[in-house]
Amino acid sequence: MKIEGKKRIWQDYQKEIADDSYFYVRSCVRQNFFPASEKIFLKILKEELFKDIYENASHTTCSGIGYHSDVVPFETTMTIIARQFALMTEAGYENFVSSCITSFGLYSEVLETWNHFPEVEDRIREHLLKATGRQFNKPKNLAHASDVIYKFRKEIGERGKFRLINCKSGKPLKGVEHIGCHYSKMFPSKGIGGAEYPYVLVGMIEEWGGEVIDYPERRHCCGFGFRQYLVKANRGYSIACSKKKFESMEPYHPDFILTNCPGCPMFLDRWQYAISEMEGKTYGPDGQGIPVLTYEELAGLILGYNPWDLGLQVHQVPVEPLLDKMGIPYNPETKFLGKNGEDLGRPEAPSFLHFYPETK
């Protein structure tokens, strides 16, 4: 059958995602700020979907933040990435899954570079052998962790206990999605839906009952900018980018923001707090912020996991308004307790952003 028009164009924006047997590498940013998300990703893959996913304790950073801060040379980053591939090869895997978007973009860039310049690949192989004695095969399949959740979004939805539906009105909850820039802006064919119509998060929201809001600055960067955030003097760049997005999405009254990049949920969460402190401005109703979620956190909520096991207590913008709308039960008294119920105190309430029920 001849595929015509839009169908044919849309076909160009699909990507193959392996069905099973994944080699998993972690994200530096997410391990610091969203440690539970990576834990939940592995739990969903292993315990809900019964997939084989393996992590080797010897893997390290891909050096991506150092590379994009321009202190680590490309040659060095390529060889560190080659070492990650060697660990995958030695473990007998062929499907590489990255938790990080910066890493995913870099893995894509490195493979593309080697494709265009085979002599560079040869040189990196020599570097790796000389430095570590290791050799590697390139992955047969490269995916970002959000690709994998997207692939199994129906299965997760079917097993789910909650949906993105307002439990009082019965209407779909409204979400804005924010895709990490390095997911598909550099290599559109590597992302589901390409750079113009990324579908990876939209697919999850729609499958789980929600409605996606389109807004003018949907594709604008969150403002990480690497050196633009990491150096204190430059952070105005970072907050300005996030503010531009908040101002643009505010008129559509989103119930939540969904992200697939390590830095984006942190910036979209923290800069809401910083703007509230600087200007007294909040972007949700009644002094609330707009809750920001990782895709694993949202998948975990759909599956009925305890919000505090998902790490929602370490968000600066409280997620409780979304939990209330979805009808998800939670215990505010246990929010900031330790693993065995130990008292760890509580964070101070921000000046303006509604944080504790009693400060409303």
Partner 1 sequence: MGKLYDTLKKDVRFTEGLKACLNCGTCTAICPAAEFYPYQPRIIVDILQTKDEEQIESLLKSDTIWYCGECMSCVTRCPRGNAPGLLITVLRSVSQEMGYFVESEKGRQQLALKRTVGEWILKYGYCLIPSGITPENHPEQGPVWEWEHSHLPEVMDRLGANYKKTGPGVLRKIPEEDLEEVRKIFDETGGTERYRKIEDYSAKKAEELGLQLDDTNDNEYFRMIYTGKSDKPSTKNED
Q: Contacts with partner 1 in 325-354 (CB under 8 A)? A: 336-339, 342, 344-350
We find the least distance from the C-beta atom of residue 182 to partner 1, in angstroms, to be 6
**What token pair was written down for 310?**
């998902």
CA distances from 266 to 35, 115, 224, 270, 331 (A): 12, 34, 10, 6, 24
- Assess 301 for contact with partner 1 (CB under 8 A): no
Q: Which stretch binds partner 1 (CB under 8 A): 67-75, 249-257, 280-288, 320-328?
A: 67-75
Query: In this complex, which beta carbon is closest to partner 1, that of residue 212 or of residue 353?
Result: 353
- Assess 158 for contact with partner 1 (CB under 8 A): no
Q: Which stretch binds partner 1 (CB under 8 A): 9-17, 138-146, 165-173, 214-222?
A: 214-222
d(CA 127, CA 32) in angstroms, rounded, equals: 30
Residues 232-251 that bind partner 1 (CB under 8 A): 232-237, 239-241, 244
We find the least distance from the C-beta atom of residue 127 to partner 1, in angstroms, to be 5
- Angle among Cα 291, 199, 106 to the nearest 5 degrees reads 90
Interface pick for partner 1 out of 10, 66, 248, 352 (rule CB under 8 A) = 66
CA atoms within 13 A on the CB side of 247: 8
Running DSSP on this structure, what letter comes out for residue 312? G
d(CA 98, CA 31) in angstroms, rounded, equals: 13
Residues 252-271 that bind partner 1 (CB under 8 A): 270-271
What mask, x for binding partner 1 by CB under 8 A, covers residues 24 to 63? Answer: --x-xx-xx--xx-xx---------------xxxxxxx-x
For 260, the 3-state DSSP assignment is: coil
We find the least distance from the C-beta atom of residue 69 to partner 1, in angstroms, to be 4
For 307, the 3-state DSSP assignment is: coil
We find the least distance from the C-beta atom of residue 195 to partner 1, in angstroms, to be 4
Residues 87-116 that bind partner 1 (CB under 8 A): 105, 113, 116
We find the least distance from the C-beta atom of residue 94 to partner 1, in angstroms, to be 20
d(CA 61, CA 145) in angstroms, rounded, equals: 16
We find the least distance from the C-beta atom of residue 11 to partner 1, in angstroms, to be 20
Residues 112-141 that bind partner 1 (CB under 8 A): 113, 116-117, 120, 127-128, 130-132, 134
We find the least distance from the C-beta atom of residue 70 to partner 1, in angstroms, to be 4
d(CA 351, CA 74) in angstroms, rounded, equals: 44
Interface pick for partner 1 out of 309, 327, 329, 332 (rule CB under 8 A) = 309
Indicate the angle between helix axes 101-116 and 118-132, nearest 10 degrees. Answer: 120
Query: How many residues comprise the chain?
Result: 360
Cβ contact 38:169 at 8 Å = no
Q: How many residues bind partner 1 (CB under 8 A)?
A: 95
Map tokens 């307790």 to a residue: 337
We find the least distance from the C-beta atom of residue 321 to partner 1, in angstroms, to be 16
We find the least distance from the C-beta atom of residue 234 to partner 1, in angstroms, to be 7
Q: Which stretch binds partner 1 (CB under 8 A): 65-73, 149-157, 203-211, 319-327?
A: 65-73
d(CA 25, CA 81) in angstroms, rounded, equals: 11
- Assess 69 for contact with partner 1 (CB under 8 A): yes
d(CA 360, CA 358) in angstroms, rounded, equals: 6
Of 131, 265, 261, the C-alpha closest to 183 is: 261
